[in-house]
């Protein structure tokens, strides 16, 4: 991999992938996105696109493996909480909030239990992919519940007997509906955002970012 090229991490497959690819196109970044390749080289700018799991994007940018990343704030906040207090770099520069990828991190429980208030969670097990954000919420609300970390299929946890409730992302609500879950409090609202490694010092790369930012602003305004 050529170190002179600006490296941007995006989600390989998932809610943000299509919007990320469209955004790059609107910014004038021509790509040759071929099938399962991890890296795509731009054909008209010194840019390489790394297609990875969204959960890996904050770390890649914090560590400077990638210069920029497009990631949901939910994933960013969780990664920063996970690294806080440790020795690893947890800083990123948020260059821009993007107008896609809106979702909320919310609590949910089996519909047949009916509406519940916060006190119901006392002593319960809650499955989530966002243990740090959930723990902070529980602490804030003074709820003693245990957190079950799952990296996927969180919505089946109650039915599988792995947890009493879940804390997961809700976008359209279709996943909760399909799994017979009732939505409760929102813990965090999130959009996609563009982040940068704070130690980036390569002048050519910084100049390229300077050139792209007004375009990004233009793209966002055109959609308003």
The contact set with Zn ion (CB under 5 A) reads: 54-55
- Cα separation, 39 vs 143, whole angstroms: 44
The smaller minimum CB distance to ligand PRP, of residues 47 and 77, is found at: 77
Contact present, 169 and 75 (Cβ < 8 Å): no
Instruction: Please name the helix (run of DSSP H) or strand (run of DSSP E) that holds residue 169, with its range, or none.
Output: strand 165-170
Could you tell me which residues are beta bridge partners of residue 108?
Answer: 166, 183
Rounded to a whole number, what is the distance in angstroms from the first to the last CA of the chain?
Answer: 37
Q: How far apart are CA 17 and CA 32, in angstroms?
A: 15
Binding to ligand PRP by CB under 6 A, coded x per residue (else -) over 32-71, reads ----------------------x-----------------
Q: Using the minimum distance from each CB to ligand PRP, give the nearer residue, 84 or 153.
A: 153
How far apart (Å, rounded) are the C-alpha atoms in residues 152 and 137? 21
Smallest distance, ligand PRP to C-beta of residue 151, A: 8
Min. distance of Cβ 103 from ligand PRP in angstroms? 7
193 binds, among Zn ion, ligand PRP, none (CB under 5 to 8 A by kind): none
Among 168, 196, 208, 212, binds ligand PRP (CB under 6 A): 168
Residues at the site binding ligand PRP, with contacts judged by CB under 6 A: 14-15, 54, 152, 154, 168-175
């Amino acid at each position: 991999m050529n170190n002179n090229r600006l490296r941007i991490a995006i989600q390989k497959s998932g809610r943000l992938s299509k919007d990320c690819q469209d955004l790059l196109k609107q910014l004038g970044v021509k790509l040759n996105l071929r099938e399962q390749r991890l890296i795509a080289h731009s054909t008209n700018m010194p840019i390489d696109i790394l297609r990875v799991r969204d959960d890996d994007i904050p770390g890649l940018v914090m560590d400077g493996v990638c210069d920029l990343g497009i990631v949901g704030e939910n994933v960013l906040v969780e990664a920063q909480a996970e690294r806080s207090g440790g020795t690893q770099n947890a800083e990123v520069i948020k260059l821009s909030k993007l107008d896609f990828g809106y979702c909320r991190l919310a609590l949910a429980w089996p519909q047949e239990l009916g509406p519940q208030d916060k006190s119901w969670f006392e002593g319960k097990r809650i499955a989530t992919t966002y243990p740090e954000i959930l723990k902070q919420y529980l602490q804030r609300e003074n709820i003693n519940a245990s957190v079950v970390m799952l990296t996927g299929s969180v919505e089946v946890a109650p039915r599988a007997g792995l947890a009493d409730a879940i804390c997961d992302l809700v976008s359209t609500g279709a996943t909760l509906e399909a799994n017979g879950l009732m939505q409760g409090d929102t813990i965090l609202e999130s959009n996609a955002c563009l982040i940068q490694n704070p130690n980036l010092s390569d002048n050519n790369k910084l100049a390229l970012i300077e050139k792209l930012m007004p375009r990004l602003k233009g793209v966002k305004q055109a959609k308003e």
